[in-house]
Amino acid sequence: MLDAKGKFVANAALASRKDVRDAVVAARKAFGPWAGRTAYNRGQVVYRIAEVMEDRRPQFEDAVRQSEGASAAAARAQVDAAVDRLVWYAGWADKLAQVIGNANPVAGPFFNHTAPEPTGVVGVLAPQSSSLLGLVSVVAPVIVTGNVAVVVSSYDRPLPAVTFSEVLATSDVPGGVVNILTGDAAVLGPWLAAHMDVNAIDLSGVAGSADLATSLEVAAADNLKRVRRAPDAEPDWAAEPGLAAMTDFVEQKTVWHPIGI
C-alpha cells in the first residue's frame, strides 16, 4: 500500500475468493452465539471497541493521515468522529427494539408483538475514500444489531482497517463476528454477493460504480439478500447516520399467542 503521495508504506494482504469463503464460514459459526447475547452485552462490546480505539488514537491518526493524505487536524477529527460513532451505535443495542418494534393491538384475544432480529451474515463493502470513519460507520450498525460481518476494506487505503482489525482482536469482540479482508471490492464483491450463505450485503464500497453495483445486486438476488444499495457518490460520513443502516439489516419478527386462562 502507498500513502497519499504514492510513497511505499507497507504490504497489505490481498484477499482471495478462498479468503471470502473462509470468512463466511467463520461468520456463520459466530452468528448464533452473537445474536443470542443480550443487547446490553452487545452494547458493551461495541463500546469497548471505542475505548480500545481511543487508547490507540495516535496510531489511527497516523494511519488516516498516511492513507488519505489528511492534515493532522483532519485526521484527528476523523478519529474523534469514528470513536463517537462507535459509542453512538453501542447505545442502540438495547434501544432499537423499543424504537422500531411494538405491541400490535389486533382485533382478537391475542398477545401480538413485533421486534427486530438480526438478518445473519452481512457482507460489507466498506467505503473507498473514508478509510476509518466510513469503515466504522458501516461495520458498527451491522454488529450492534446482532449480525456478523465479512468486510472488504478500502482497496487503496487499507491501513486504518488493518489497525482497526488489531483493535477488534484485542477488545471483547468474539472471533468471527467481524472479519476484515483487505482487497479489491470489484474482485471480492461478486463472490460475496453470490454467496448463498450470506444474508445481506452493503454496497457502500462501490459508490459511483453503477455497473458494478448493478451486477452485485443481480447476484444478490439469487438468495434474496437484503441489499443496502450503493449511493451515486460516497456520502458525508460525518453526518448523523439515522436508523437506516441498522434497519436495512434487521428482520421484524411477529409473534402471536392466544390470551386466556
CA 203 to CA 80: how far, in whole Å? 25
Between 116 and 160, CB nearer to another protein: 116
Closest to 137 measured CA to CA, from 192, 177, 198, 83: 83
Site string for another protein, 195-234 (x = CB under 8 A): ----x----------xx-xxx-xx-xxxxx-x--------
Please count the residues of the chain. Answer: 261
The cell for 91 is 447505545
| 3-state DSSP assignment of residue 227 | strand
In the set 110, 171, 184, 235, which binds another protein (CB under 8 A)?
110
Q: Minimum distance between the CB of residue 251 and another protein, rounded to whole angstroms? A: 5
Choice from 119, 153, 154, 179 touching another protein (CB under 8 A): 119
Distances (CA, A) of 130 to 65, 100, 106, 210, 242: 11, 29, 46, 19, 18
State the nearest-atom distance from the C-beta of 152 to another protein, in Å.
19
CB-nearer residue toward another protein: 69 or 111:
111
Task: Rank residues 70 and 246 by Cβ distance to another protein and give the closer one.
Answer: 246
Among 2, 10, 99, 169, binds another protein (CB under 8 A): 99
Q: What angle do CA 150, 156, 162 make, to 5 degrees?
A: 50
Q: Does 253 bind another protein (CB under 8 A)?
A: yes
Distances, alpha carbon 243 to alpha carbons 76, 158, 197, in Å: 26, 27, 25
Q: How far is the CB of 254 from another protein (least distance, A)?
A: 5
Look at residue 98 and give its three-state secondary structure: helix
Q: How big is the site for another protein, counted in residues (CB under 8 A)?
A: 37
Which residue number, 10 or 253, has a Cβ lying nearer to another protein? Answer: 253
Cell of 17: 475468493
- Binding stretches for another protein (CB under 8 A): 99-100, 102, 104-108, 110, 112, 114, 117, 119, 199, 210-211, 213-215, 217-218, 220-224, 226, 242, 247, 251-258
